[in-house]
Amino acid sequence: MDRRVSGHVRGHGIPECGGRHGASLPDHDRSADPNDPPAAIDAVVLNTRASWAYFADGGGQFAAVANLGAGPAATTGKVVLADTDGDGDLDVTLAHRPHATEVWLNQGGRNFTLASELGMGVAAALADLDGDRRVDLLIADRDASIIRLGDGRGQFRDSGQRLAGIGEEGDAALADLDQDGAPDAILVHGSGPGAVYLNDGQGQLTDTGQRLPAALSLAIGDLDGDGLPDLFLGRASEDQVWFNDGTGRFADSGQRLSGAAGSRDVALGDVDGDGSLDAVTASSDPGPVVYLNDGAGRLRPGQDIAVGPAEMVGVALADLNGDGALDLFFANYAGFNQVWYNDGTGRFTDSGLRIASDRNLDVALGELDGPAVTPSVPGPGPELF
């Protein structure tokens, strides 16, 4: 299992073609030479004023290179990385209300061009929904969510489908929930019930009728080790874990994780090297929390990360310093973004890196100047994103 990336590249331990919580990732196992250095993991930070791509040197340092546009201040949003035009590298999708959702194509040489401006969105997710081997786009907005079908060149047409909205603060993800090989959808609403939609394999999604509790954020991964994608719900009060029965129906595990209030984002990954998915939340009260998994899906609070005066609203996991352990990149609304290094046991120390300025909304990690895995239908395999 490659532990070097987990998170947005939004990933959750269940492969997604893209999801805030997921994306088409660089193939870190593509080289046959085990002596080759690991790829440098880059960052895209969504900001209320302008979004930037930060390129890494492999030793934990980042340099701002690509400005992904500026305009009237965004108030909420998510960033997703996936290969939307089929050229083998990661492109950037920005859902940032009240702007249009933007698709920026990676031209190589650390250059990006704006390809599409679509409807407003609070969150977004990407996957091949209709089985044509092209990435499609779910834009989740306050009152309704829209499925747009991709043409393989970075353009997306409205499918005519309308799914539930997610309110002012909510989240969306695509993953194969019922094990039929087609990605399904989960939408969580910040102040109302969330919904689960199953895909018929042709891109038509049907509401299952199951309702989930209100949540600010969502992560999908096999938490209890049965090979099925489960849910971690980041909530305004106590976070929750819901287990999948294999048909896309979820049962409340009964866990009430009260280590943080207002979990605006969550990332899943094996931070302590025991082979099970752990969780890290982004919150401001009292701050980010690491939850360690016992292997059966029972999570216990580990480290409370002392980020100082901050409002952490986004989090992603990746090996940022090349030591094989998953590190943390926090998007900070109230100050500089922060990077924390993992000692391999799930204990994190402040790297001292301070990136960008304040008013950040989200972060996604991936190898922007190297090859990416061509998007494929997500499934429940054990390999981490």
| 169 Cβ contact partners less than 8 Å away, ≥ 6 residues apart | 76, 122, 190, 191, 216, 264
Give the side-chain half-sphere CA count within 13 A for 144: 7
Residue pLDDT, tens place only, 64-106: 889 997 666 788 899 999 999 999 999 999 999 998 999 999 9
Q: Which residue has the higher pLDDT, 34 or 178?
A: 178
The strand ranges marked E within 259-342 are 265-269, 278-282, 289-293, 299-304, 312-318, 327-332, 337-342
Buried b or exposed e, range 26-39, using 16+ CB within 10 angstroms = bbbeeeeeeeeebb
**Quick one: pLDDT band at residue 38, thresholds 50, 70, 90?**
low
pLDDT (0 to 100) of residue 261: 72
Contact assessment for residue 385 and residue 375, using Cβ atoms and an 8 Å cutoff: no
Q: Exposed, middle or buried: residue 1 (CB in 10 Å: 0-12, 13-18, 19+)?
A: exposed
Nearest to 266 by CA among 241, 298, 294: 241
Residue 227 region by backbone torsions, left for phi larger than 0, else alpha for psi between -120 and 50, else beta: left
Q: Which residue has the higher pLDDT, 36 or 183?
A: 183
pLDDT (0 to 100) of residue 289: 94
Cα–Cα distance measured from residue 304 to residue 55, given in angstroms and rounded to the nearest whole number: 28
Indicate the helix (H) or strand (E) that contains 205: strand 205-212
**Angle formed at CA 283 by CA 281 and CA 288, multiple of 5 degrees:** 55
Rounded to an integer, the average pLDDT of 224-242 is 97
Residue pLDDT, tens place only, 147-187: 999 999 999 999 999 999 999 999 999 999 999 999 999 99
Domain ranges for the chain: 5-366
| Lateral strand order in the sheet of 62-70 | 62-70, 50-56, 42-47, 360-366
* Number of other residues whose CB lies within 10 A of the CB of residue 59: 9
Which pair of structure tokens corresponds to residue 361?
């909304």
Torsion angle defined by CA atoms of residues 114, 117, 122 and 126, in that order, rounded to the nearest 10 degrees: -70
pTM here? 0.89
| C-alpha torsion sign, points 80, 81, 86, 87 | positive
Domain 5-366 adopts which CATH fold? Methylamine Dehydrogenase; Chain H (2.130.10)
